[in-house]
Each structure stands twice: as structure tokens, then as C-alpha cells.
């Protein structure tokens, strides 16, 4: 299960990178955010053996990994107004995503 979860996280990151290269910042942002959500699900599963949906995992992340939660929370407002996502936001989420990934996986 963990290998599959890690594969999915990497797929989201790779998709985001491809969309970014194409200049499709909206889809790049969405892919990177999905990777963040998937990392949250993975960490809760790895730590507690509980498979939760992203919303439930975020609640647990807020308690167990407040630093990661703060990063994810920073980008949630852009999810609902995705048309306002620009290159700078996408670069920012990718940098944060890579830090979280390298620091926790």
C-alpha cells in the first residue's frame, strides 16, 4: 500500500512539472496540491495505519505535523479561485512541496 501511495505522490509531482513546462499553471497548481494532500494521507497511514480521505488526513496532520499543515493551509484558498493562480504561486507551492517531500518521506 505504501509503495502505491508513494508512486501516486510522484505521479502528481511529475504531472505538475509537465503542466508547468507547458505554461498551464492552473493544472500544475492542482497537481502539486494533490501531491500535498497525498503526502498527508501517506504520513497518517505510515504513522498510524489509518487510511483516511484527504480531509480527514489534514485534520490529523494539523495535530501531528503542524508545520506541514501550515504549508497546505496556505494554498487552500487558491483551490477555490484557481483562475487566479499564476507562475509565482506555482513556483512557491512546488518549492514547499519538495521541502515537505524531502523532509518527511
Angstrom distance (rounded) from CA 13 to CA 36? 9
Q: What is the pLDDT of residues 27-48, one digit of tens each?
A: 999 999 999 999 999 999 999 9
- Indicate the DSSP class of residue 86: -
Of the candidates 15, 103, 8, 98, the one whose C-alpha atom is nearest the C-alpha of residue 54 is: 8
54 pLDDT higher than 80: yes
With cut-offs at 50, 70 and 90, classify the pLDDT of residue 82.
low
pTM of the model: 0.94
Angstrom distance (rounded) from CA 91 to CA 97? 10
Q: What is the mean pLDDT of residues 43-68?
A: 95
The pLDDT score that the predictor gives to residue 47 is 96
The pLDDT score that the predictor gives to residue 12 is 98
Fold held by 2-104: 1.20.120
84 pLDDT higher than 90: no
Q: Which residues have CB under 8 Å from 17's CB, separation 6+?
A: 28, 94
Where in the chain are the domains? 2-104
Q: What is the pLDDT of residues 3-12, one digit of tens each?
A: 999 999 999 9
Angstrom distance (rounded) from CA 37 to CA 54? 6
Q: What is the mean pLDDT of residues 65-84?
A: 89
Amino acid at each position: 500500500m505504501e509503495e502505491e501511495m508513494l508512486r501516486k505522490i510522484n505521479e502528481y509531482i511529475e504531472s505538475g512539472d509537465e503542466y508547468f513546462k507547458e505554461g498551464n499553471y492552473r493544472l500544475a497548481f492542482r497537481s502539486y496540491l494533490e501531491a500535498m494532500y497525498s503526502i498527508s494521507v501517506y504520513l497518517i497511514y505510515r504513522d498510524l495505519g489509518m487510511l483516511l480521505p484527504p480531509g480527514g488526513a489534514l485534520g490529523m496532520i494539523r495535530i501531528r505535523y503542524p508545520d506541514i499543515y501550515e504549508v497546505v493551509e496556505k494554498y487552500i484558498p487558491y483551490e477555490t479561485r484557481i483562475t487566479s493562480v499564476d507562475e509565482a504561486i506555482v513556483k512557491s507551492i512546488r518549492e514547499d512541496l519538495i521541502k515537505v517531500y524531502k523532509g518527511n518521506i
